[in-house]
Amino acid sequence: MQENTVALYVRQLLLALCYLQQRQVRHGALNFTTVTLSSRLPDAIIKISDAGLASIFDPKNELLRKKPTCFNSYRVIFFSS
């Protein structure tokens, strides 16, 4: 995979996360299985799945605090109510 292609994917991912942040949508479980590509082509589009479901199914972050992973923000684990 070309470095330019990876840079475009990272840019798309960061823009998507900024979009969610501006709308106060917390993913809660962002990892390699929830970030996918629309195709195998270099011009593929980043897709983030399950966005916002964590706040519906675990509004107090109890599950994240019981079983945190390296993908969870320390703010979600330690400072959320």
The pTM score is: 0.62
Burial 33-66 (b: 16+ CB within 10 A, else e): ebbeeeeeeeeeebebeebeebeeebeebeebee
Count of structural domains within the chain: 1
For 8-66, how does the pLDDT look when each residue is reduced to its tens digit (9 = 90+)? 999 999 998 888 888 777 776 777 888 889 999 889 999 888 766 666 666 676 666 66
Distance CA 49, CA 81 (A): 24
What's the token pair of residue 68? 């945190």
Closest CA to 46 of 55, 57, 54, 36: 36
Q: In terms of residue numbers, what domain contains 39?
A: 3-79
Closest CA to 62 of 38, 81, 37: 81
